[in-house]
Chain A
Amino acid sequence: MHIPDGFLSPAVWATLDLVSVPAVGLLARKAQRDLEDRKIPLLGVMGAFVFAAQMINFPVGPGTTGHLVGGTLLAVTLGPAAAAVVMTAILAIQAFVFQDGGIVVLGANVFNMAIASVLAGYLPYRLWAGSGWRSAAIFAGGVLSVLTSACLALAQLLISGVPMPRRLMLVSLGLFLVSGLIEGAVTLAAVRAIERLNPVWIRSPKDSGSRVLGAVAIAAVTLVAGGVLIASAAPDGIWSLVGKLGLTAQTAPWLHAPLADYQVNGLESAWLRKATAGLFGLVLVYVACFLTGKFIARQRSI
């Protein structure tokens, strides 16, 4: 889902902008290093491909069709860093040209759909591409990528104070799961079709990392995405956790300082607490994703 402007509270979008900007910068540099300059047109054209691919309908149920979202497909063809850059470019075009998604919340959308989603979608492939589980990994990647981005978006909305009755939330989660399954099936079918045309286009990861570590990594990504959701539904939980860990004393001042002027404007402290808790949760997600990535990279280089 592309979050429009006006939905997220300043603390949430500001944090995510702050997270996404350097992340995209790093990824762009990495993508360029991985792929040489020749790939700049390639990345652009593949972005256009993902856009255009939405016109190709996949029949999935009686009277319903689905289409490719693309993060996982891009990751297994271009590599995860390049895929994240392409997804970022797509989101930028959608926001600026097609008014799909907001401008100040672009960082949030990029984080959900270009960074976390692509990483989650690539992890299973990264780990099981060389095994008999390859197809399952691609499928799982598709499912995970959609679930991750949707759950993150939902969590950010909740943290921003958009209320969501429990029943509605269950329905949304069910829908996310269905879209995830569709994306998994479509991605797998697409990868197979592409491979039949020219197997070179599907990049195999140089070598697979440890399976156990991989399982841990996937669990981590899923848990943080799901965890954020739960945490944001009950922000007091995470807040008290922060307190228990004895973090409050150190974190509170710098978390509160930039928000001080909102308080002046009569915003109740419950909102502030929620926002801060959410902010903290999101930083946790980021750190977790980052560390997982680092860990896997280290594993690979050994």
Chain B
Amino acid sequence: MHHVVVERWSRRSSPLHARDARAKLGALLAFLVAISTTPPQAARAFVAYSALLAVAIVSARLPFQGLLGRAALVLPLSATFAAVTWWSGDPARAIALAVKSFISGLAALLLVATTPLTQLLNALESLGVPRPLILVVQFLYRYLFVISEQAQHMRLAARCRQGLGLDRRSRFYAAAGALGVLFARSWERADGIYRAMLARGFSGRFSPLAPARFGARDFAFLCAAVAASTAIRLAL
């Protein structure tokens, strides 16, 4: 858990990594909307979307298998729903459901695998997501690993005590106690963080460092992506 593989990918370099996060975000949205509005029968369109995505993956110089494997996480869920759909007599829709969710998931994965989260958050903010929400996400991600580690230790400790032959009821309350302690520690940590912020002159406003620059290439990339998605959607 300590090293989310996607994050490691996002720190590599490639033509796609070099694009501004806003351009990539815009491209992703155009792509996803195109896919989502494509009728289930348009098999050729789905082939074209996949080809487009493959081009992007190649230019991102990321491990193909790793990406596919990670994107396949959505498959159990979509396969279940696809099976139900097939079963109730709509095979075209069933296939479209599975394909759509897989391609969409892969595209979203490609965005985060080529964009460090900070840049992505800055992009979201410049697109109008409220600043407090962005900051909460940022803090959440920062402390996710710290607190998960604590939880993991507590789980280990709980497992060590399991040999004591407690009944289910007392194990339930032990788990609640652990949860309470985790809560308390998290809360106190938040207090500590806030103190550290104040100590370094925090006055209630976060100011971001250097804003990213949206260059001609970013613009060209965004246009190309939107044009390609739209063309596939309308032509095929």
B-contacting residues of A (Cβ < 8 Å)? 4-10, 13, 24-25, 28-29, 31-32, 37-38, 40-49, 51-53, 55-60, 68, 77, 85-86, 88-90, 92-93, 95-100, 102-104, 157, 161-165, 168, 185-186, 189-190, 192-194, 196-198, 201, 262, 265-267
Closest CB in chain A relative to B75 CB, distance in Å: 10
Flag if A41 contacts B197 (CB, 8 Å).
Answer: yes
A165's closest neighbor in chain B, by CB?
A: B88
A-B pairs with beta carbons under 8 Å apart, 24 shown: A4-B104, A7-B81, A8-B36, A24-B130, A32-B132, A47-B140, A48-B140, A48-B144, A51-B140, A53-B151, A53-B179, A55-B148, A56-B151, A56-B158, A89-B133, A89-B137, A89-B140, A102-B105, A165-B84, A190-B180, A194-B184, A197-B183, A197-B184, A201-B187
The docked-state distance in angstroms from the alpha carbon of A99 to that of B158 is 29
Q: Are B101 and A6 in contact (CB under 8 A)?
A: yes
Query: Are B143 and A56 in contact (CB-based, < 8 A)?
Result: no
Interface flags for B25-67 (1: CB within 8 Å of A; 0: not) read 0001100110111010100000000000000000000000000
> Which residues in A have their C-beta under 8 angstroms from that of B88?
163-165
5 nearest CB pairs, A to B:
A44-B139, A193-B180, A6-B100, A5-B104, A6-B101
- B181 sits at the interface (CB 8 A): yes
Contact of B84 among A28, A53, A57, A168 (CB under 8 A): A168
Which of these, A42, A53, A99, contacts B105 with CB under 8 Å?
A99
Q: Is the CB of B147 within 8 A of A96?
A: no
A49-B147, A103-B104, A193-B180 known; A28 and B132 CB under 8 Å? Answer: yes
Q: Which residue of A lies closest to B39 (CB)?
A: A265
CA distance A229 to B159 in the complex (A): 41
CB-CB under 8 A from A267, the residues of chain B are 39
Q: Interface on chain A toward B: helix, strand, loop, or mixed SS? A: helix
Least CB distance, A261 to chain B, in whole angstroms: 8
Determine whether B228 belongs to the interface, using a CB cutoff of 8 Å to chain A: no
Determine if B207 is an interface residue (Cβ-Cβ < 8 Å): no
The tally of residues in B whose CB lies under 8 Å from a CB in A reads 84
Q: Does B231 sit at the interface, judged by CB under 8 A? A: no
- Give the docked Cα–Cα distance between A58 and B155 (Å): 11
B150 CB-CB contact with A under 8 Å: yes
Question: Once bound together, how far apart are the Cα atoms of A51 and B184, in whole Å?
Answer: 15
Known: A56-B158, A56-B178, A165-B88. 20 other contacts (CB 8 A): A4-B78, A6-B103, A10-B33, A28-B130, A28-B132, A40-B136, A44-B135, A44-B142, A45-B140, A45-B189, A48-B142, A53-B151, A53-B182, A93-B141, A96-B120, A104-B32, A104-B33, A162-B85, A163-B85, A262-B37
Say whether A5 contacts B147, CB under 8 Å.
Answer: no
Q: Total number of A-B contacts with CB less than 8 angstroms? A: 250
**Interface check B171, CB cutoff 8 A:** yes
> Cβ of B39 and Cβ of A48 under 8 Å apart?
no
Could you tell me if A7 and B144 are in contact, using CB atoms closer than 8 angstroms?
no
Decide: B28 and A48 in contact? CB cutoff 8 A: no
User: Smallest distance from the beta carbon of B172 to chain A beta carbons, Å?
Assistant: 6
- Assembled-state Cα–Cα distance A265/B93 (Å): 15
B108 at the interface (CB under 8 A from A): yes
B residues less than 8 Å from A103 (CB atoms): 28-29, 32, 104, 108
Among residues of A, the one whose C-beta sits closest to the C-beta of B98 is: A6
How far apart are A45's CB and chain B's nearest CB, in angstroms? 4
| A96 contact from B102, B112, B142, B143, Cβ within 8 A | B112
Query: With A51-B140, A190-B176, A190-B180 in contact, do A45 and B190 touch (Cβ < 8 Å)?
Result: yes
Q: Decide if B150 touches A52 in the complex (CB within 8 Å).
A: yes
Cβ contact of B172, chosen from A25, A32, A58, A85, cutoff 8 A: A58
Determine the residue in chain B with the shortest Cβ distance to A95.
B108
- In the bound complex, residues from chain A placing their C-beta under 8 Å from that of B182 are 49, 52-53, 56
- For A86, the closest partner residue in chain B by CB is B136
Complex CA gap A165/B137 in Å reads: 39
Q: Mark B63-105, 1 if CB is under 8 A from A, else 0.
A: 0000000110110011001001101101001000101111111
Chain A residues near B183 (CB-CB < 8 A): 49, 53, 77, 190, 193-194, 197, 201
- Find chain B residues with CB under 8 A from A6 CB: 35-36, 78, 97, 99-105
Kindly state whether residue B154 has any CB partner on chain A within 8 Å.
yes
Q: Is the CB of B74 within 8 A of A44?
A: no
Q: How far is the CA of A164 from the CA of B197 in the complex (A)?
A: 52
Whether the pair A85, B132 counts as a contact (CB closer than 8 A) is yes
The chain A residue sitting closest to B203, CB to CB, is A37
User: For B155, what are the chain A residues with a Cβ–Cβ distance below 8 Å?
Assistant: 55-57
